[in-house]
Structure 1
Amino acid sequence: MSAQGITLPYQASRLNLSVSFRFLLSLYAIVPVCVLLQLLDRWVFNHALLDMLPSSPSHFLLFQILFGTPHIIASNLLLFSHADYVSCFKNKLIGMSLFIVVFFGVGSLFIPYRALYIITACWTVYHVLKQQHGIAKAVCRLPNWAFYLQLWLSVSAGIFIYLGIFLKNSLTPQQAELVLQISSMLTIVLIASTFVCQKFVPSRFGWYFLWANTLLVVASWYVYSQQYYFLAILMPRLVHDITAYSFYVSHDVNRHSQHADNGLFKLTSRCHLPAALVLPLLSLVLTYLLQAYGDDLVNLVLQTLFATQIYKAVTLGVIGYLALMHYYTESFVWAAGSPLRRYIRFSGF
């Protein structure tokens, strides 16, 4: 999910499960753990961990199954399995689907692949960090200028870190060094900005959240600069994905635990599967099936019927479409006034 900024007064006593701010803050514990792992590996284990890790998270199928794609599929399942949500957002969903087909589908015939990749990378980083800053806004209570200063510095640094990791094999040494230098400069400015902005935070808990988001970027930059690319992506991915699932699970428990009111949860309730486990389990299973067998199955059908094949029809086409829809829809489905927010309450602040 990508919070626009959570308003705390919106609560409903009838809702059984809440999204805990203390739990969300605890997820940032992955940051010092990863930095400690890097330091131990460098100074004690002679880079044994670095040699074991893939050079990019995208090279590790288990990483793709556990992070990124599952919460994207869960988000789309949650939205599209509820007729009332689809009806509410119908025009936006149709409009965005057409845009994706035209810009990323037809546009790929004319726009260079690297340009499309950079656009998608920027959107990905913005989505991930906007979620964390949007949630923190509720407890940090920064003035708008300070909030957007922190957000855009984080996103800017994050973009160059992301590009430095995923485009490293196509960058010249001079380009790679330039990307690292720009990300370093932006990270330093972010740290300085956080020192300035912290005086506007009214509570110690908000101060923790403010620095947690900053240190998430700083730590990602540090391990990236040390070439621990896997750890650099793991930290924001884990924090982002589990945060998103906390919203999805809370929504499902509060809407369906007492009375399942859509086809998916009526089916799973007959199997005595708790509402809290439906989306996490289903999204993990679907991710595994799509990543491991999707492309081969589609190409088998296409080869049999039409004697042709499509390159990564599922892992790039279908999952790419779902990812872009996720980035778009999560920017408004959890906003105040959305029908999904009726099933969300907050605690631990």
Structure 2
Amino acid sequence: MVAQIISFPEQKSSNKLAVSFRFLLSLYAIVPLCLLVLWLDSFGLDHAIRDMLPSSPSHFLLFQILFGTPHIIASNLLLLSHDEYLNAFKRKLMAMTLFIMVFFGIGSLFIPYRGLYIITACWTVYHVLKQQHGIAKAVCRLPNWAFYLQLWVSVSAGIFIYMGIFLKNSLEPGQAALVLEIASVLTAGLMISTLVCLRYVPSRFGLYFLWANTLLVVSSWYVYSQQYYFLAILMPRLVHDITAYSFYVTHDVNRHGEQAQNNLFKAAAAVRLPIWLVLPLLSFVLTYLLQAYGDDLVNLLLQTLFSTQIYKAVTLGLLGYLALMHYYTEAFVWASGSPLRRYIRFSGI
């Protein structure tokens, strides 16, 4: 969510709920907690926790149900359930859908799978870190050159950390070592750039946010280098996803709190489901159903009707499409002047 830089346009006085910057900063507490787990496991439990955890978060169904996919589904539901938003962005949505079909559909016939995977990985890392740096700029007040220096060094380091984790089983030992070395150099560069940027941050609260984003990447690199791959992905994933939900819930409460304005929230009101719970609950339920049963159900129908099957039609095809749309739409749906932005205000600076 909110992949663009946060600004402060005129906000509706009727907005009762606010996105709290102090709450968003508190999410980074996952970083020292994960480091504490690593140190306790390394020095007290002989790596028992590392051996118990899956080698990749993608191998753990519960992780996929709790992180990543739910907020992607939630962001798409937010757009699809409001005719006003669909009408405002329909040309962009149609153009992006066509691009995805051509590039990832037809392109997959010519571009190697690893190439497509790396492209998607780069976009994923950029999306996650652009959100956090965009939010931080509102309180750090960095000049543009300093902001983009921090952003691109963070993204570059994050990409190599991500590839080192998710491609480790397909990399030769020398290749894996090279990926780690590049990630290490870029992480050191991020620390240096942060020290350079300190002088431009006007407030202590801004310094906290600046260091929070830096240490998020640095800690992910350190945990990755110690082969705690699950924890390395958990830290940025949790911060990113809960940050996204804070925007979605704030929007829903401010728009539908007094009177439901679409069929989804009218149905929720009929069963007395709290407004703030509608999108999170629905997105988690849909994630579970799609991840656990989606592929089997689609293949059962295809086998019955057409005597054929499609490999991971839901978990790779549908959810992959929704993820790419999420990365794209979040770059503009929360921008100043967007119809969604009218229902967001901020507090806690």
C-alpha distance in 1 between matches for 2:74 and 2:12: 24
User: Structure 1, residues 211-255: CA drift from partner, whole Å, max 9, x if none?
Assistant: 000000000000000000000000000000000000000000000
C-alpha distance in 1 between matches for 2:125 and 2:97: 21
Corresponding residue for residue 145 of structure 2: 145
8 Å CA contact 1:11, 1:346 repeated in 2: no
Corresponding residue for residue 213 of structure 1: 213
C-alpha distance in 2 between matches for 1:80 and 1:270: 20
Corresponding residue for residue 68 of structure 1: 68
C-alpha distance in 2 between matches for 1:16 and 1:317: 39
- Deviation, 1:193, is 0.4
Give the AA of the match of 2:60. F
Partner secondary structure for residue 338 of structure 1: coil
Corresponding residue for residue 260 of structure 1: 260
8 Å CA contact 1:2, 1:128 repeated in 2: no
Corresponding residue for residue 234 of structure 2: 234
Corresponding residue for residue 11 of structure 1: 11
C-alpha distance in 1 between matches for 2:9 and 2:347: 11
Give the AA of the match of 2:41. D
- Equivalent residues in 2 for 1:1-349, closer than 5 Å: 1-8=1-8, 10-349=10-349
User: Structure 1, residues 300-339: CA drift from partner, whole Å, max 9, x if none?
Assistant: 0000000000000000000000000000000000000100
C-alpha distance in 2 between matches for 1:81 and 1:110: 36
C-alpha distance in 2 between matches for 1:35 and 1:259: 45
8 Å CA contact 2:4, 2:330 repeated in 1: no
User: Structure 1, residues 267-322: CA drift from partner, whole Å, max 9, x if none?
Assistant: 11101011100000000000000000000000000000000000000000000000
- Deviation, 1:13, is 2.6
User: Percent identity between the aligned chains?
Assistant: 79
8 Å CA contact 2:21, 2:347 repeated in 1: yes
C-alpha distance in 2 between matches for 1:67 and 1:104: 24
C-alpha distance in 2 between matches for 1:118 and 1:157: 14
8 Å CA contact 1:81, 1:264 repeated in 2: yes
C-alpha distance in 2 between matches for 1:195 and 1:111: 40
- Deviation, 1:9, is 5.2
Give the AA of the match of 2:201. V
C-alpha distance in 2 between matches for 1:9 and 1:84: 20
C-alpha distance in 2 between matches for 1:227 and 1:44: 17
8 Å CA contact 2:31, 2:219 repeated in 1: yes
C-alpha distance in 1 between matches for 2:140 and 2:198: 9
Cα root mean square deviation, aligned? 0.7
Partner secondary structure for residue 335 of structure 2: coil
C-alpha distance in 1 between matches for 2:189 and 2:117: 26
Give the AA of the match of 2:248. Y
Give the AA of the match of 2:202. P
8 Å CA contact 1:3, 1:335 repeated in 2: no
- Deviation, 1:14, is 1.2
Partner secondary structure for residue 339 of structure 1: coil
C-alpha distance in 1 between matches for 2:110 and 2:283: 34
User: Structure 1, residues 143-170: CA drift from partner, whole Å, max 9, x if none?
Assistant: 0000000000000000000000000000
- Deviation, 1:6, is 1.3
C-alpha distance in 2 between matches for 1:159 and 1:272: 44
TM-score by length of 2: 0.99
C-alpha distance in 1 between matches for 2:91 and 2:277: 30
TM-score by length of 1: 0.99
**Number of matched pairs:** 349
- Deviation, 1:107, is 1.0
User: Structure 1, residues 74-96: CA drift from partner, whole Å, max 9, x if none?
Assistant: 00000111000000001000000
> Any gaps of 5 or more consecutive residues in structure 1?
none
C-alpha distance in 2 between matches for 1:255 and 1:50: 44
Give the AA of the match of 2:348. G
